Amino acid sequence: MTAALAMAKTGEPVMTPTMASPVRCDSHSVKNIARGEHFGRSSRAIATQLSHGRVKALQPGLVASGARSACTISEGAKLPEADLCYFDKEGNVHTVKVSELTRAKKVVLFAVPGAFTPTCSTQHVPGFVAKAEELRKAGVDVLACVSVNDAFVMRAWGEQMKVGENVLLLSDGLGKFTKAMGATVDLSDKPVGLGVRSRRYAMVVDDGVVKALNMEEGGAFTHSSAEDILKCLQKHKASNVECSAGQNVM
């Protein structure tokens, strides 16, 4: 049982930075928040106030935006070193260095602004779960999602979405990896307590080097889906075949 769940069971107020979405907060989102035990009593109370109209909700379809850091990562660059955390299926917490995660492997790494938020939970992560087998057939060794959330939140999120072993959910709790990437977005002006988070992106990494990078504007979701990454992999495969064919002719 996570610390947040334990506190909720005792009736103590629990607040979490992921109780609402950086993208939108509509009636459907409010119902999901109210049902989620992992959010704690305080979050459910706020959800109830939202549903009764006592707290003004964000307009549906409001796209997350905020002050962005200058992106320092690019195709052809090596990923910055950092420690990321995750829980295994037995409930043990592990820390892995980015270099260890990517060494001698082809990795698809994608990032989301926050666990339990609507676009991340209904489109981005489920899309990669659905395409996990296709991605592995395309040569991907590791499929991982990173977010500026603590490892307990990432584990609870994965359990709710039934991610299983399809996607490795990585916690960048202090945002050190995200900052080193130049991928932060400051959502402190939003009324949902998100603070500094990660821009949404998806990338193909080969032995620690970025081969393809689809970086979104803030929390937008336009070209970082599993389908987009599959297209990148197919494009790179076709390019390699053409290069190999040219070398054989030579």
Pair 73, 174 in one domain:
yes
Q: What is the 3-state secondary structure of the chain?
A: CCHHHHHHHHCCCCCCCCCCCCCCCCHHHHHHHHHCHHHHHHHHHHHHHHHCCCCCCCCCCCCCCCEECCCCCCCCCECCCCEEEEECCCCCEEEEEHHHHHCCCEEEEEECCCCCCHHHHHHHHHHHHHCHHHHHHCCCCEEEEEECCCHHHHHHHHHHHCCCCCCEEEECCCCHHHHHHCCEEEECCCCCCCEEEECCEEEEEECCEEEEEEECCCCCCCCCCHHHHHHHHHHHHHHHHHHHHHHHHC
120 catalytic, yes or no?
yes
Domain span including residue 83: 67-238
pLDDT > 90 fraction of the chain, expressed in percent and rounded: 60
Q: What is the pLDDT of residues 189-229, one digit of tens each?
A: 888 888 999 999 999 999 999 999 999 998 899 999 999 99
Could you tell me if 11 and 84 lie in one domain?
no
pLDDT, tens digit, 9 for 90 and up, residues 144-163: 999 999 999 999 999 999 99
For position 203, what pLDDT does the model report? 98
Chain mean pLDDT for the chain? 77
Question: Among 25, 120, 145, 232, which one carries the catalytic annotation?
Answer: 120
CATH number (domain holding residue 213): 3.40.30.10
**25-42 confidence digits (pLDDT tens):** 333 333 333 333 333 333
**Do 159 and 46 have their domain in common?**
no
Higher pLDDT, 55 or 100: 100
Judge if 92 and 177 occupy the same domain: yes
